[in-house]
Structure formats: C-alpha cells, structure tokens
Amino acid sequence: MKKVKNIAILTSGGDAPGMNSCIYSVFQTCALNGINLYGVRRGYSGLIEGDIVKLKYDDVRDINNLGGSFLGTSRCKEFETPEGRQSAMQNLQKQKIDCLIAIGGDGTFTGLIEFAKIYPNVIGIPGTIDNDMGYTERTIGFDTAVNNAVDAIDIIKQTMKANRRISVIETMGRHCGMIALHSATAGNASIVVTSERNKTEQEIKELVVKQLKRGNPAPTIVIAEKLLDVKKLAENLENELGVEARGIVLGYIQRGGSPTVSDRITAMRFAVESVHSALSQQFGFVLGIRANKIIREPLNSFKSYQPYFDAELFDEFCARNKI
C-alpha cells in the first residue's frame, strides 16, 4: 500500500465562512502526520491551470478566524469537460499528489463524481451556507450565515418599529429555505416564506393584515431569495395597505465575517477525518454529520438525498405567530 505523502486541497463554488478554518485544520493534521499539504488556488479553475502551491505554516497561521477562502474559489465550466478534467489530473500527477480534498457544495461534488472516474483518490467536505446537502445535518458556513442574517434582521426591526414600517427581507437559500426559516425564527419575524412553504403575494398580504389588526405596527417578513421581488412586494403592500414598507436584500453580508464557534468546530472535525481517511487509503466519499457523528457517504449517492427542511420548526414558527 502506497503511503500518502502529499495532499491537495481546494475550495469551489460559493465561499462559506469556515472554509479557512477547515484548511487550517487540514494543514495541522497533515503536519502532525508528516504529510505535505498543497493548496489549489481558485478551485477547479486553478486545478486545470496547475496553480498548485505547497503550503507552509506562515501561509495558514492567521486564517482560522477569517471568512471567505484564502485560496480563492470559482465556478468552472471547463471542469465539466473531459479535457478539463484530464488537465486537472495531469497537474496533480506532476505534483505527485496522493489525494485531493474538495470543500464545496452540490456543484463541487457533482464535478468530483466525474473527476473520480479518472482520479479516484478524492474526498469531499460540505461547505455551503445554504445547508442544502440532504445527506448531512450540517454544512460548513450555515451557522455563520444564519447569525449574520439574524444580526441584520435585529437591526432592521429596530428602525422599522420606530417608524412603524413593514419590512420585507430577502435571505439567501434559493433551493433550500433553512437560512430563511432559522433567521426568521431566531429574529422573531412575523412571516416566513420559503421554497418548501411558498406563499403568493395575496396570501402574504392577508397575513400582514392579520398582524396589523393584532396590534403589530411593523410586521417583519423574511423571504428566501428569488421567490419574489421583495422591493416590488414592499411597494405593493404600501400602496394597498397604506402602511409604509421597505424591501431589503441582505445579499452577500450573509457569506462574510468571522466563522462562528459552531462552524469552526464543524470544519475542524471534517478536516481531521479527511486526513485520517486519506492515511488509511479510504477515498471516493463525502463527509457529513448525523446525530453529531461524522459519517461518510459514497460520492456517487449524495444526490439521492433531498435537501433537508425542518418542517417541525416551521410549524412551531407558524403556531407562535398564529399563521
């Protein structure tokens, strides 16, 4: 059995707070086991271009608390082609890389499935703020994104209450409503709309009217991205109800900032497990968490899981707000 001497790591797709924490912990674990860690800049794009550098302690010592990805990330169309993947494999072979660790979400893992057909020594780590990977209960970045969203909602509610205005707030989470649901619940919003529990504009208007009649002068509506135009919805509510309303898109504020304790610990656990797996010559899977335990899911089966949505929490939210 060939001993693992060199591991490469990359981040791909949308960045997520905690990616740097994961890279840092992978480096630490590699160093403790006599393994060289190489960083691939700009995800699969850098892999195809051969932008691979040997990491030193000075490169990573100050990144654990930083958001984003110090290696950079990208969405790479060329990696979807056989020619692109062939170039990527050749570049890994030139550096004598024994294992590739990829941190990312659905798109990253989809690319990894195809790449594993020609370079089988791969391991995937879930890093996406949407928490939309159904096989795992937790992904790197989700907790930080929710905390960022709640901080913003708390601030918005203060000024909206002072001015007796309706707020219509868009969070990220196009295909999974967990950011919207968790931030609405923790931020004590009045109404939440997700792809899993969608509502028409008329239904939202009726719920706002109920809130106003109950004595809430400044209802807060949280909507997952791309479901409705929140600024247009706010304008329509103001025109029809005669109450000032504002539409706010939180956007990339949810992606940035220092990762929370939860995300740092999750990143560290994934990092340690990935290196230990490589040392034991186990490849071709993605890591996840179930019942607070690290699990391995075969790479080619992760797509069989639907994104998780906490229906029980949604029902509790509705009951609390009498929706």
Catalytic positions, written as ranges: 130
Q: Identify the bridge partners of residue 170 per DSSP, sorted by sequence position.
A: 223, 249
Which long-range contacts does 161-165 make (Cβ < 8 Å, 24+ apart)?
161/217, 161/218, 163/218, 163/244, 164/217, 164/218, 164/243, 164/244, 165/218, 165/243, 165/244, 165/245, 165/246
The residue assigned the tokens 């794009």 is 45
SS3 for 177? coil
Q: Which tokens go with 45?
A: 């794009």
d(CA 102, CA 97): 13
Rounded CA-CA distance 109/202 in Å is 39
DSSP 8-state secondary structure symbol assigned to residue 269: H
Distance between CA 208 and CA 166 in Å, rounded?
9
Closest CA relative to residue 98, chosen from 41, 46, 43, 34: 34
How far apart CA 233 and CA 238 sit, in angstroms, is 9
Whose CA is closest to 211, among 231, 192, 228, 226? 192
In eight-state DSSP terms, residue 304 is G
- In three-state secondary structure terms, 122 is strand
Q: Which two structure tokens, joined as six digits, stand for 92?
A: 């890994």
Edge-to-edge order in the sheet of strand 220-224: 191-193, 220-224, 166-171, 245-249
